[in-house]
Amino acid sequence: METSTTQAAADTATVQSFSSFAEFYPFYLGEHSNKACRRMHFLGSSLGLLCLAMVFVTGQVQLVLYGLLCGYACAWVGHFGFEKNKPASFKRPLYSFMGDWVMYKDMWLGKVSL
């Protein structure tokens, strides 16, 4: 048990040490090495964008909440179920949110495999 506690403290210190998003993003990609996890992120981001688009079509603002729920639920299933790690959003929420969208763009551009 001591080892996992020590490792968790080291992981937290590592995530907190980044002074810019450019430094954080390679770490973020490393936390998404499992293809199924990346696919879950892609699905969640796509559903989130679909919900956002539907806000403009229907005027139902609660769809923003549904979009966030879809995005985070899919991502967390990817992390806990496939990647077997804790989402970085627990430690660096803004950088993680930005990383989701940069990774999503990079998947569309073929820079990150899907």
DSSP single-letter state for residue 110: T
Q: Which domain holds residue 46?
A: 35-114
* 50 within domain boundaries: yes
* 3 within domain boundaries: no
* 111 within domain boundaries: yes
* 59 within domain boundaries: yes
- The number of distinct structural domains making up the chain is 1
pLDDT digits (tens, 9 = 90+) for 30-42: 999 999 999 999 9
* 106 within domain boundaries: yes
Residue 88, pLDDT score: 84
* 5 within domain boundaries: no
* 15 within domain boundaries: no
Q: Which residue in the block uniquely carries the two structure tokens 């229907």?
A: 58
* 91 within domain boundaries: yes
pLDDT digits (tens, 9 = 90+) for 58-110: 999 999 999 999 999 999 999 999 999 999 888 899 999 999 999 999 999 99
